[in-house]
Amino acid sequence: MLQPPYPELDNLLEMMGEAGKRLSEIEASEGAAGNISVYLQWPVELRTRFPLVEPIVLPQPVPKLAGETFLVTGSGRRLREIIDEPVASIGCIVVDEGGETGKLFTSHQRRFERLTSEFNSHLAVHYDQIVASGTNFHAIIHAQPPHLTYLSHVPRYQAENYLNTHLLRWQPETIINLPEGIGFVPFAIPSSPELMDATLKSLRQHRIVVWAKHGVMARSDVSVKRAADRVEYAETAAKYEYLNLSAGEIGEGLSPDEIRAICTTFKVQQKIF
Ligand SMILES: [Zn+2]
């Protein structure tokens, strides 16, 4: 939930660009992998930057969001290039009355045919979160950080408890930034209703979820860069775990007692350790 003054369209485009650049720097968005979407409840002037308008059918009805706005990356666009020319990579949707259709605003510089094919999962999670919490802002990122994705191929890390007790033990900040831990969704075909449904449920309990053998989805109701930070915290934790496996598991990690003491000091509520 944001308090006024609300960010302007240009600030939001800039933050999407910075998040995309950072995800690229940590190698979580090779080629055109990854996508970003942002929901805002307050009205913004779109036509100056996005003068072309066409009708679209939304992947699911969102009747409570009539008149409200989404900024969404285009299919096949590179997250690292958003920062240079955001209007080439992003489309804006304003939801119509009834919530089944919308208007897609794009630029003359538009370099995509359709919005990201993962928009069904993005929209389902946005709607679930917005209706449950009443937030006026919500950002979602899908990225493919390699260490985290690699560990999701190893059977023992496919159990949520094992994944979290092993990844959240390498730095004191990890439990502070991810107090609900990392959700885990078993492999499902990209863009499928199964993936959408499992993601929506896991993101009710977590701020980031691993899609087995694929990547992650992270959310924030504060900023798009905060969602990118969550990807980075989880990927850094996975990198330590990978280093430890490579070194023959000689690292101790923080003990459960040490992590509980950190949580007491910093007043972090958690149920993992
Ligand atoms: Zn992907």
**pLDDT tens-digit readout, 122-141:** 999 999 999 999 999 999 99
pLDDT at 269 (0 to 100): 97
Specify the amino acid at residue 115: L
Neighbours of 98 (CB within 10 A): 10
pLDDT at 155 (0 to 100): 98
Q: How confident is the model at residue 94 (pLDDT cuts 50, 70, 90)?
A: very high
Task: State how far the Cα of 261 lies from the Cα of 70, in Å rounded to an integer.
Answer: 41
How many angstroms does the Cα of residue 213 sit away from the middle of ligand 1? 10
Report every protein residue that has its C-beta within 5 angstroms of ion ligand 1: 215
Mean pLDDT (the chain) is 97
Structure tokens, 135? 């937030």
Largest CA-CA distance found in the chain, in angstroms, rounded? 59
Neighbours of 66 (CB within 10 A): 13
How many angstroms does the Cα of residue 250 sit away from the middle of ligand 1? 33
Written as one string, the DSSP assignment of 171-217 is: -HHHHHH-TT--EEE----TT-HHHHHHHHHHHHH-SEEEETTTEEE
How many angstroms does the Cα of residue 217 sit away from the middle of ligand 1? 9
How many angstroms does the Cα of residue 79 sit away from the middle of ligand 1? 12
